[in-house]
Amino acid sequence: MNAPEDFSPRPSASAPVWFGRPRPGPFPPLAESASYDVAVVGGGLCGLLCALLLARGGRSVVVLEARRIGDGTTGHTTGKVSLLQGTKMSRVLRRNPPSVARAYVDYVEAGREGQAWLRRFCVEHGVGVEPRHATTYATTRIGMLRAQGELAAARTSGLDVTWTRSTELPFEVLGAVRLEDQFQLDAMELLVALVAEVVAEGGVIREATRVEAVDRADDEVVVRTEGAEVRATAVVMATNQPAMMRGGFFARLQPQRSYAATLTSDWVPDGMHLSSDQQVRSLRSVRDGADEELLMVGGSGHVTGRGSAGERLDRLLAWARETFPGSEVRHVWSAQDQSPIDGLPYVGPAVPGDHRIQVVTGMDKWGLSTAPAAALLLAADLLGGEPPSWGRALRTWAPREVLAAGRAAVVNAEVGWQMACGHAGRLLAADRPPLCTHLGAVLTWNDAEDSWDCPLHGSRFAADGSVLEGPAVRPLR
């Protein structure tokens, strides 16, 4: 496929703008078996926040990160901390019966408390907080109907939003939902501060330590890695998608890949903007180093492993070229997020009634505001505290799961179709693609990032076969 003429050759998806900053660590891998009160699997925002809260509560904690801190979703975020989340509210209310509406009100309250906690942490630890307004804007008729639906849903959920036809955007907008007093931040600056606090509170961090199994053993949980094992009273699975099969969360999530880039531009926004159109576009400003202010664009999301990633990236860059003439691409990257079938995150026991193994997943691209709330909920559970009233909106095994069974059936029917088509095509192919080590699906080649991606549940593998994203834990044969 030909690249857009002004971007020839197309910049390949590589490192986010945040990776130009100093990174935390490195930390050594787990070399010897050890015992802790809690083992946290995953060194992203939620894992580090859980570790920090538990360490402050007097627990001995180890964080096990498969690669390096920042290599996952948190290090590839756009850095928006907003309670206005595109068209998420209206989608949740549209997909679910009226009885779920109350849960979404609680979800908004959880996000409000999580956002406030994160803002306080940033201010207290010198992490830059840039106050911004947020908008969900529409440039098409369909987009405007969606934005108006979001306006109604946001007001129902208790957000002080307004409708406006006037925005700062340098192109025609039919209307927009606006929310004041949100903020944006630098993801790597936040991770550096969190890691420093975890270590200061006595937490231990181990990088290059991929967890291969989590097993119960009497009153303990055994976390097995390639080189050693950890015995703990409790385990928190704070990976993008819970690894292994326990709880079947891979069947309750849809993996989403999306793209972002920074560009030089004569125009950069004062606010944070996200479109409600079918072709989603995200906009914010970001500083590259101390001086230069860049425009960040994002979008072109799709289910991981389905369709051409390179084509999606090309569309985003072509839109940026057309909308902001004379712009020059500086950074290009992608991120993976998990979209839950009912639109609300899963936070709590992996299996009903067993609090020794906890999971947190399904942030649906809004982890910077939701992850702090999830960590507060998990910490209350593991420290024996009183759970917040809004916690029921985030629980892993809530009654709303039964109500979302229809949506789950559709998503898993698509998964079955992808499995069948992949194997049928593989039989006819001259060069057979590899099989995912999770459930044996035929992998597709990601032409934007040089990786093998699973169209079923989003596992990803580097060209050498090593695991990039779960739920797979074993490399390609």
pLDDT tens string 8-20: 445 555 789 999 8
Q: Indicate if 381 and 415 belong to the same structural domain.
A: no
| 427 and 396 in a common domain | no
| Domain harbouring 56, CATH code | 3.50.50.60
Asked if residue 246 and residue 352 are part of one domain, the reply reads yes
How many domains are there within the chain? Answer: 2
Q: Do 366 and 417 fall within a single domain?
A: no
The region of weakest confidence among 26-40, 385-399, 412-426 is 412-426
Residue 28 has pLDDT above 90, yes or no: yes
Mean per-residue pLDDT of the chain? 87
Query: Is 117 part of any domain?
Result: no
Give the residue-averaged pLDDT of 121-135.
97
Higher pLDDT, 403 or 91: 91
Which segment, 77-81, 89-93, 152-156, 214-218, is predicted with the most confidence on average? Answer: 77-81
Are 348 and 393 within one domain?
Answer: yes
Quote the pLDDT of residue 400.
Answer: 55
Closest CA to 213 of 199, 228, 224, 205: 224
Same domain flag for 195 and 231: yes
Mean pLDDT of 362-383: 92
Report how far residue 277's alpha carbon sits from residue 470's, in angstroms, rounded to the nearest whole number: 30
Q: Tell me the per-residue pLDDT of 189-246, one tens digit each, with 9 for 90 and over.
A: 999 999 999 999 999 999 999 999 999 888 899 999 988 999 999 999 999 888 765 6
Per the domain annotation, does 291 fall within a domain?
no
User: Predicted confidence band at 1 (pLDDT cuts at 50, 70, 90)?
Assistant: very low
Q: Do residue 416 and residue 380 come from a single domain?
A: no
Nearest CA among 466, 144, 98, 91 for reference residue 276: 144
Q: Is the link from the previous residue into 170 a cis peptide, with omega within 30 of 0?
A: no
* Residue 270 belongs to some domain of the structure: no
In terms of domains, do 198 and 247 share one? Answer: yes
Using the 3D structure, point to which of 355, 387, 403 is the last residue of a domain.
Answer: 403
Query: How buried is residue 60: exposed, middle or buried, by Cβ count under 10 Å (0-12/13-18/19+)?
Result: middle
Separation between Cα atoms, residue 393 and residue 207, nearest integer Å: 32
411 with 397, same domain: the answer is no
pLDDT at residue 164 is higher than 50? yes
Each residue of 403-456: pLDDT tens digit? 455 555 555 555 555 555 666 566 556 567 999 998 888 899 998 899 999 998
pLDDT range class, residue 94, cuts 50, 70, 90: confident
pLDDT-derived band of residue 475, with 50, 70 and 90 as boundaries?
A: very high
Checking if the pLDDT of 460 tops 80, the result is yes
Q: Is residue 151 part of a domain?
A: no
Selected residue with higher pLDDT from 457 and 162: 162
Which band of pLDDT confidence, cut at 50, 70 and 90, is reported for residue 95?
low
Last residue of a domain, one of 403, 429, 447: 403
Among 7-11, 132-136, 280-284, 330-334, which stretch is predicted with the lowest mean pLDDT? Answer: 7-11
Domain assignment of residue 170, yes or no: no
What confidence category does residue 366 fall into, taking pLDDT thresholds of 50, 70 and 90? Answer: confident
CB atoms within 10 A of CB 58: 10
366 or 422, greater pLDDT: 366
Domain that holds residue 224: 17-76+189-251+343-403
3-state helix/strand/coil string of the chain: CCCCHHHCCCCCCCCCHHHHCCCCCCCCCCCCCEEEEEEEECCCHHHHHHHHHHHHCCCCEEEECCCCCCCCCHHHCCCEECCCCCCHHHHHHHHCCHHHHHHHHHHHHHHHHHHHHHHHHHHHCCCCCEEEEEEEEECCHHHHHHHHHHHHHHHHCCCCCEEECCCCCCCCCCEEEEEEEEEECCHHHHHHHHHHHHHHCCCEEECCCCEEEEEEECCEEEEEECCCEEEEEEEEECCCCCCCCHHHHHHCEEEEEEEEEEEECCCCCCCEEEECCCCCEEEEEEEECCCEEEEEEEEEEEECCCCCHHHHHHHHHHHHHHHCCCCEEEEEEEEEEEEECCCCCEEEEEECCEEEEEEEECCCCCHHHHHHHHHHHHHHHHCCCCCCHHHHHHECCCCHHHHCHHHHHHHHHHHHHHHHHHHHHHHHCCCCCCECCCCCCECEEECCCCEEECCCCCCEEECCCCEEECCCCCCCC
- Does residue 288 sit within a domain? no
pLDDT at 4 over 50: no
Which of 383, 403, 423 corresponds to the end of one domain? 403
| Residues 248, 255 contacting (CB under 8 angstroms) | no
- Check residue 244 and give its pLDDT: 63
**Do 243 and 193 share a structural domain?**
yes
> Both 240 and 356 in a single domain?
yes
What phi and psi values does residue 313 have, to the nearest 5 degrees?
-65, -40
The answer to whether position 409 is within a domain reads: yes
Q: CA–CA separation, 414 vs 457, rounded Å?
A: 11
Name, in order, each residue with C-beta under 8 angstroms of 372's C-beta and a sequence gap of 6 or more.
Answer: 45, 49, 113, 114, 115, 117, 118, 121
For the cut 60, the answer to whether the pLDDT of residue 21 exceeds it is: yes
Is the pLDDT at 86 greater than 60? The verdict is yes
Are the CB atoms for 429 and 446 separated by under 8 Å? Answer: no
In a domain, 140, yes or no: no
Task: Identify which has the larger pLDDT, 420 or 462.
Answer: 462
* pLDDT at 3 exceeding the cut of 50: no
% pLDDT > 70, the chain = 88
Q: Are residues 353 and 239 in the same domain?
A: yes
Q: Is the pLDDT of residue 6 over 60?
A: no
Above 90 in pLDDT, residue 461?
yes
